[in-house]
Amino acid sequence: MTFFESFVIALVEGLTEFLPVSSTGHMIIAERILHVQETDFVKVFTVAIQLGAILAVVVLYWKKFFDFSKWQFYVKLIIGVLPALVLGFLFSKKIDAMLDSATTVAIALLLGGIVLIFIDKFFRNPTIQSEQEIKPKNAFMIGVWQCLAMIPGTSRSAASIIGGMQQGLTRSEAAEFSFFLAVPTMLAATGYKLLKYYKEAGGFSTEEIKLLLVGNIVAFVVAIIAIKFFINFVKKYGFKVWGIYRIILGILLLILIWLGVING
């Protein structure tokens, strides 16, 4: 992996991690277009640069994350992340295998896009207006929905936002809780991948450390911009445009696979 490749992939991660369009799917597409060689480090890199995106959430919502008097917030995050931790541990090999399939990404983009087009009509009458109103059972069910994102192309953000709206959250609150839930979820996934690679490879080379630093810095800066934009956009326009985007991208990806431009 070159520094240019790491910059582009991190740019894609930062832009798409918190949008309901699948950051994993976009990174797979970017890797195919750039002809990035599939190595164990590249697979770790695409997960590890999520740390930069996580930090963006913590920085933007630092009052929420560091108000230790409101311990219920942390309890809800722990409850919400449990389904992903359990299923991720049980099916980690199968999940890794699916990451190599661009066809899976394309189909997931299409199906998720159809759902997002109609989601605002499905859940018109939200009953939960703020994070404080979210109950532990709501957090758990949102965490269950989030597990759908283990299928590449689904989007962790989309799955947890849909789950939040199904549980009665407004679309902006569902989006914000999705951001909050991303922190422990992505931290656990990243820590596991880094530790596993460290043990199997015997450590990280100087070049790999530099690539990870560049990737995380880029992802952090871009994610801050993307989060601010997304919240304002969702409040005004909802999710339909993201559904249309996913469908167009999914169809385009299937065409590129059919033409042999991208390996399926």
Tens digits of per-residue pLDDT, 100-132? 678 888 899 999 999 889 887 888 788 888 888
Average pLDDT, the chain: 87
The lowest-confidence range among 64-73, 205-214, 219-228 is 64-73
Average pLDDT over residues 61-86: 89
CA distance 243 to 197: 35
pLDDT in tens, 175-186: 889 989 988 888
Q: What is the pLDDT of residue 59?
A: 92
CA distances 101 to 20, 134, 190, Å, are 20, 36, 21
**pLDDT 10s digits, 151-179:** 888 888 889 999 999 999 988 899 889 98
Q: Report d(CA 112, CA 105) in Å as an integer.
A: 10
Q: Is 215 exposed, middle or buried (0-12, 13-18, 19+ CB in 10 A)?
A: buried
b/e map 140-160, b = 16+ CB within 10 Å: bbbbbbbbbbbbbbbbbbbbb
Tally of residues, the chain: 264
Residues forming a β-bridge with 109 = none
pLDDT the model gives residue 99: 64
Residues 226-253: what's their mean pLDDT? 87
Going by pLDDT thresholds of 50, 70 and 90, the confidence category of residue 209 is: very high
The model's pTM is 0.83
Residue 224 has pLDDT above 80, yes or no: yes
